Every structure is written in C-alpha cells, then in structure tokens.
Chains A and B, each alone.
Chain A
Amino acid sequence: MALIRRLALMAIFAAAASGAVLAQVPEHKQGPLTIVQPWSRATVPTQKTGGVFLRIENTGSRPDHLIGVESEIADTASLHAMIRHGDVMRMRPVVGGIDVPANGHVVLAPGGKHVMLIGLRGQLIKASAVPLTLVFERGGRVQIEAIVEAAGSRGPARESK
C-alpha cells in the first residue's frame, strides 16, 4: 500500500515538474504561427531603448509576413536589423517587414533582426513580462509576453529540439 501511495505521489510530482518545465518555455500559438520564447533584456531607468528577441514558427503551407509590432510599454516599437558592414555595426529599421516562410521559421536574435522598443515608459525588470502585439500580414495580431532576462543575456537557456 505504502509503495502504491509513493508511486502515485511520484507520478503527481513528475506531472507537476513537467508542467513547470512547459511553463518555462512560453509559446504563443495562433493558427499556423507559434511564437517561441520571446525574451528581452533588463534595463535601468535612464535607458530608453530595449530589444525583444523571439522565434516564429510557421506550420502553414503559405508564407506569412511580420509587418509590425505594437507595445504599450514604449513610445514606439519597430522592427530593426543589425547590419554588419566590415567591422562596423549598423542598426537600421527593417523595410517591408520580416518574411516567415511556409513550413519554416525565422529567428529574431541579438546581432540580427529584432524588435526595438524606443522611448521605454518604464524599466524592464529581470523576470518580468513585457506585453507586445505582433502584427502579421496573414495571421493577424498575435499577443505575446516577452520574459526579461539579465541585461547582458544571450537568451534564455534553450533546450535543443
């Protein structure tokens, strides 16, 4: 009897633990689009800019297009890209949006394409969540929450899939 109870308890703990793991990898699904693990970086009050990074997966048979971003947390949210020109790094607005290929994915990561928040209305505090709306040409508006990591983070530790 004790053994069965112990096994049952273990099963409950295992289920809870796997639930916790899932909760750590936030995903936002809408139609064929999944926004995987959006994250940002901590700022100090005097800092007026922030970056948001994420992965967009598209299981649909038609490509989509990320055309805009909206956020209440900043005066402006826009799509930017880092362009490495020789050894000079340039950040520029992305003209014409970001392609999300059919049955494919696109990654917005440091040193590449990202969401830039300009005119932050508040400090981004580590472990808090930043609400954003991604606007897709086909998929429409997708609401997400980016988790704030440490200021110098390269991203949440990601398990390889």
Chain B
Amino acid sequence: MKKSARIGLLLAILVIAAAAILAERLLIRDPDTAQAPSGIVAGVAIGGPFTLTDHTGRQVTERDYLGNFALVFFGYTFCPDVCPTELGDIALALDELGDRSAAVTPLMITIDPERDTPAILAEYVTLFHERLIGLTGTVEQIKQVADAYRIIYRRFEDPNYTFYLMDHTSFIYLLDPDGKVVSLFRYGTAPEEMAAIIRQHMRG
C-alpha cells in the first residue's frame, strides 16, 4: 500500500512536471508560427500598423516604409550576443543581394524602450549597416507592435546585478512592399538563405 502510494505520488509529480514543461513550451513557442517550414507564415495574422519614433527622433508609422521590402528585427542594444549576430546577418544578407538590396529597408525595433532612446539607437545602428533604421517608442507603443508581431519579451532581473537583461523572441520578418509579412527567419538562418528567399519574393 505504502509503496504503491509512493509510486502514485511519484507518477503524479512526473505528470505535473511534464504538463508544466509542455505548457511553457506551448506558451513560448506559438504553434501557429512555429511549425511553418523555413519560416513561411501561412494564414496567421502577423504585423500591422504601428506608431514609433525612429533614431533621428522622427515619429513614424508603418506607412513610412511601404513601397519597399523591409527586414524587421526585434532586439535591444544592451544585448551583446544574439542581437549583433542577427543584425550582422541582416547586413550580410543585404550585401548578398547586391544592387537589389536598395529595395530592402532594414529595421530594428527595440523591445527595451526604457534604455533604447533615439540617441542610443542612432549610434548603435551605425555599427551594422548604413541604412539600418532603429525604432523605439513608449512602453505601450512597443508592447503594441511586439504583440502584433507575436514577439515575446520580458525583463530578466538577476539579484546579483545592477542591470537587467531581456528575454526575447529572436525573429527577423520579411515584409513585402505592401507591408505584409511574407516570411520569418529564425535565429541562425544563414544570410545566403535569407537573401535567396528575399530574391524569390522580389521575383514573385
């Protein structure tokens, strides 16, 4: 009896743990966006209107970037690893496109508006590409655009540090000249692959 009760308890703990892991995975990795191969988004509403401030301090909306393709990356300047890698990859993908890269506007939207002022972004963007545009906004404006693009971000505070880090979805979206999201590149997508897919959409 006692032994079976113990086994029962153990099983219950395992089931709860498994359910918790599954629940967190499902929460974080939205199956709608996660299962599309090589990031092609099918039938899911992603993106939409926004009002933000660019790195020169000008108020902008999504309409300012229509007429050109756009690569949209969500990140933050305090990030020393993933964000420079992704922005470097965007620059490489644009290089790969050669003359045609002029038809693509690279955009970085910060998910850390409290630290990333237009002035901070203005310096940061110069590190990666001469046409990279940094966008920031109020906490509410950033939340709105991140939600629209299904970007998950949250502050992580470590009691041992005097600063905070951000956990965030590291996606790069490709928008067509009508502002519609036509592709999604996950972290680690090779710049050549990005360029190839952009070229396909330019033809299509």
Contacts of A153 in B (CB 8 A): 84, 88
Question: In the assembled complex, how far is the CB of residue B187 from the closest CB belonging to chain A, in whole angstroms?
Answer: 6
Q: How far is the CA of A150 from the CA of B167 in the complex (A)?
A: 24
Query: Which residues on A sit within 8 Å (CB–CB) of B158?
Result: 93
Q: A91 at the A/B interface (Cβ < 8 Å)?
A: yes
How distant is the Cα of A116 from the Cα of B80 in the complex, in angstroms? 7
Q: Does B173 contact A (CB under 8 A)?
A: no
B41 cross-chain contacts in A, Cβ below 8 A: none
**Is B131's beta carbon under 8 Å from chain A?**
no
Smallest beta-carbon distance B124→chain A, Å: 6
Contact call A88/B89, Cβ cutoff below 8 A: no
Tell whether, in the assembled complex, residue A86 and residue B85 are in contact, meaning their CB atoms are under 8 Å apart: no
Beta-carbon contacts of B78-101 to A below 8 Å, as 1s and 0s?
111110110111111000000000
Q: How many residues of B contact A (CB 8 A)?
A: 42
Q: Which of A42, A86, A89, A90 contacts B25 (CB 8 A)?
A: A86
Within 8 A of A (CB), among B98-141: 119-120, 123-124, 126-128
Given A44-B124, A85-B28, A86-B34, A111:B88 Cβ within 8 A: no
A24 within 8 A of B: no
Partner of B188, one of A41, A51, A111: A111
A65 at the interface (CB under 8 A from B): no
Q: How many Å from the CB of A91 to the closest CB on chain B? A: 5
Query: Is B183 part of the contact surface with A, judged by Cβ < 8 Å?
Result: no
**A41 proximity list for chain B (CB < 8 A):** 80, 84
In the complex, the answer to whether B123 meets A45 with C-beta atoms within 8 Å is yes
Known: A84-B187, A152-B85, A153-B88. A50 touches B169 (CB 8 A): no
Q: List 19 A-B pairs, Cβ < 8 Å.
A: A44-B123, A44-B127, A46-B120, A47-B78, A51-B84, A82-B81, A85-B167, A86-B28, A87-B152, A88-B169, A89-B82, A91-B79, A93-B160, A110-B84, A111-B81, A118-B163, A150-B127, A151-B128, A152-B89
| Residues of B near any A CB (own CB < 8 A) | 24-25, 28-29, 33-34, 77-82, 84-85, 87-92, 119-120, 123-124, 126-128, 152, 156, 158, 160-161, 163, 165, 167-171, 186-188
8 new A-B contacts, CB < 8 A, other than A48-B78, A88-B167, A152-B89, are A44-B126, A46-B120, A46-B123, A51-B84, A85-B167, A111-B81, A116-B81, A152-B87
